[in-house]
Chain A
Amino acid sequence: MQRRNITRNEWIITLIIKISGYSSILFVSLIFIFLMREGLPALGDVPAASLFGERWYPIEGYYSIWPLLFGSLVVTIGAILLAIPLGVGTSVYISEVAHPTIKAILKPLIEVLAGLPSVVLGFLGIQVAVPFLRRALDLPTGLTAFSGAVLLAMIATPTIVSITEDALNTVPSAYRQAALAVGATQWQTIWGVTLPAARSGVLTAVMLGVGRAIGETMAVMMVTGNAAVLPHGLNAFFLPVRTMTATIASEMGEVANGSPHYHVLFFIGIFLFVLSLVINILASSVSLRSKKRAERVLS
């Protein structure tokens, strides 16, 4: 009798777990179908010349997505270039170099940083970072892609730090001891042995950081100036940009349901969805491949 009860409970629990597992597939495909249904009509509503033109000014029928796509890419790439050295450096310091007392202080602080709402960072950006960057770099305005990148780097860094640190902790201490035993310095051990051994984890951390950065809206909207300009050269990094997320956030509320503008905003949503999908696929393929190599080394 009791035995049967246990089997039945087991069966129910397995079912619940199964449903939660499969539900993510369901949600992702529902979101995808919804985005396609609302976004694809844009291709019919708006002539391709406008959709892939030069300007974004929706109230007069200019619907070019290029300035927005470039805006998002410039800000995200900038953020990643700043966040990778900072994030990986911090986690190496915490896990390999720092004294346990300092580690005990730093780790919770970084977790606090990770939990900080991005709007709060946006306030900090608009009141402190923006005027400072304008004066320090002698720019026409401080509301630039660079300011956005700095803020996004602050948002992405805690993610990168905590995952990289976990990866470094899983590297067997025998590796470090062996390297030190053959006469390597601490820096040589970190750079030549520990980091390469944790490579898959570090790459996953960076990819998740990218994902965090590209989807961020509020902080970016507050400091990038939101001017939909097509970049002409490298100085675009220090000029205002308008990102895809900021555009959707600021315009979706006012748009008439079913209008061309509405469909174009969903079309931008498809772009964002595909972009983050590609990043995730890249991340998982990279980490899978490195795992095989690590296994080869171990055997």
Chain B
Amino acid sequence: MRKILLTLVLLAVLSGCAASNGGNSSGGADSGANAYIQNKGSDTVVNLALAWAEKYQDVRPEVRISVTGGGSGTGIAALIEGTVDIANASRAIKAEEREEAADNGIEAVEHIIARDAIAVIVHPDNPVNELSLLEISGIFRGEINNWSEVGGEDRPIVRVSRETNSGTHVYFLESVIRLGSSEDKSIFSADTLLLPSSEGIISEVRDNPNAIGYDGLGYVIPEVKVLGVSKELDGPAIMPSVDTVNTGDYPISRDLYMYTPATVSDAVETYLAWIYSEEAQAIVKELGFVPVR
């Protein structure tokens, strides 16, 4: 059923472009022909996917990629329905979603395409070098209000965060403030500064010795101090880096995924292979994420 659909889509695209080589079936298609890739899902991944699609135009101008956001759930739902070729997700597919896909005859294949790590940053003069997840959670909930409570100087703590519409904000809320518990309904302390951009956060933390902030690892500049983070109160503190993120030791990081059906067109396959190339993974770094290789 899906193959027929894909063929129909391809045919429609081909006839629309008035291409000469018809009879292009998804089975033995020559990947040089005009191809069309539907890519949908996570709003965290959407900028990365867009940057990739744009760059891919230089590599393979004949392949057209349409990228839309909407959220991880939307993307996976579309994959289950068979309306997209690639679904983007900032979380792993759920067991029930996998079953639903199987009921529709689609086996969802997982590709980890990048990782997203959040660095906790302070002013370089701040003597604090490491914090546990629990302490960071306490600070941003508004329970810890002075640096002396976590081994620093007697200074008020100024919390700095991205705006609520940022994916990083939501991820930090869920995995750090609530420590990953879905029953926990605590939120950011009311006096948390909500700044509209990464630059705003970096510039406040760079200038203000009272501030603590967080941002995507790729956005952090040397003028701010990155804190080591430990999972347990007495556990070893891990500094975020490409290595510690890729081994999974650094606690505030997550994988970013693309899901495809088991059988894909040649265009999708070459696109996915390109995503793991050096050129494509360099874009990952540019956008503040962690490359997988």
A interface residue numbers (CB < 8 A to B): 54-55, 57-60, 62, 67, 126-127, 130-131, 134, 140-143, 221-222, 225-230, 239-240, 242, 250-251, 253-255
Could you tell me the distance between the alpha carbons of A127 and B207 in the complex, rounded to whole angstroms?
9
The reply on B163 being an interface residue by CB < 8 A is: yes
A interface: dominant SS: mixed
B29 interface residue per 8 A CB criterion: no
A250 contact from B185, B196, B204, B208, Cβ within 8 A: B196
Q: Judge if B287 is at the interface, Cβ distance under 8 Å.
A: no
Contact A226 B164 (CB under 8 A): no
A-B contact count (CB 8 A): 70
Interface 0/1 of B183-222, CB less than 8 Å to A: 0010110111111100010011001101100000000000
Q: How far apart are the CA atoms of A60 and B204 in the complex, in Å?
A: 26
Q: Is the CB of A226 within 8 A of B193?
A: yes
Contacts of A131 in B (CB 8 A): 207-208
Q: Are B191 and A60 in contact (CB under 8 A)?
A: no
Listed by A's residue number, 6 A-B pairs whose Cβ atoms lie within 8 Å are A134-B207, A142-B208, A227-B192, A227-B193, A227-B194, A250-B196
Decide: A143 and B191 in contact? CB cutoff 8 A: no
Q: Are A239's CB and B191's CB within 8 A?
A: yes
The yes or no answer to B109 lying at the interface (CB within 8 A) is no
**Cβ-closest chain A residue relative to B157:** A140
Contacts of A57 in B (CB 8 A): 164, 187-188
Q: Is B165 an interface residue (CB 8 A)?
A: yes
- Known A226-B163, A250-B163: A141·B203 in contact at CB below 8 Å: no
Within the complex, the shortest CB–CB distance from A98 to chain B, in Å, comes to: 38
Q: A251-B165, A253-B165 are in contact. Are A229 and B190 (CB under 8 A)?
A: yes
Give the nearest-CB partner of A226 in chain B. Answer: B194
A67 to B194, CA, bound (A): 14
Q: Per a CB cutoff under 8 Å, which of A55, A58, A222, A253 touches B200?
A: A222
CA distance A13 to B185 in the complex (A): 65
Q: Which of B164, B190, B196, B208 contacts A141 (CB 8 A)?
A: B208
- Inter-chain contacts of A130 with B (CB < 8 A): 207
Residues of A within 8 A of B156 (CB): 140
How many residues of chain B have a CB within 8 Å of chain A?
A: 24
Q: How far is the CB of B191 from chain A (nearest CB, A)?
A: 5
Q: Take A126-B203, A226-B163 as given contacts and tell me if A60 and B185 are in contact as well, using a CB distance cutoff of 8 Å.
A: yes
Alpha-carbon distance between A225 and B156 when the two chains are bound, in angstroms: 16
Q: Is B170 an interface residue (CB 8 A)?
A: yes
A85 to chain B, nearest CB (A): 30
Residues of chain B within 8 A (CB-CB) of A221 are: 196
A251–B163 Cα distance when bound, in Å, is 8
- A253–B69 Cα distance when bound, in Å, is 14
Nearest-neighbor residue (CB-CB) of B145 within chain A: A140
Report the bound CA distance from A289 to B195 in whole Å: 45
**Closest chain B CB from A121 CB (angstroms):** 16
Instruction: Say yes or no: A59 contacts B193, CB within 8 Å.
Output: no
With A58-B164, A222-B200 known as contacts, the answer to whether A240 contacts B193 (CB < 8 A) is yes
Using Cβ atoms and an 8 Å threshold, which residues of chain B touch A54?
190
Is B117 among interface residues, defined by CB-CB distance under 8 A? no
CB distance from A222 to the nearest CB of B (A): 7
* Across-interface contacts of B207 in A (CB, < 8 A): 130-131, 134, 142
- Say yes or no: A251-B164 contact (C-beta < 8 A), given A57-B187, A59-B170, A141-B158: yes
Contacts of B165 in A (CB 8 A): 250-251, 253-255
Name the 3 nearest CB pairs between A and B, nearest first. A254-B165, A225-B193, A140-B156
Evaluate contact between B200 and A126: CB separation under 8 angstroms. yes
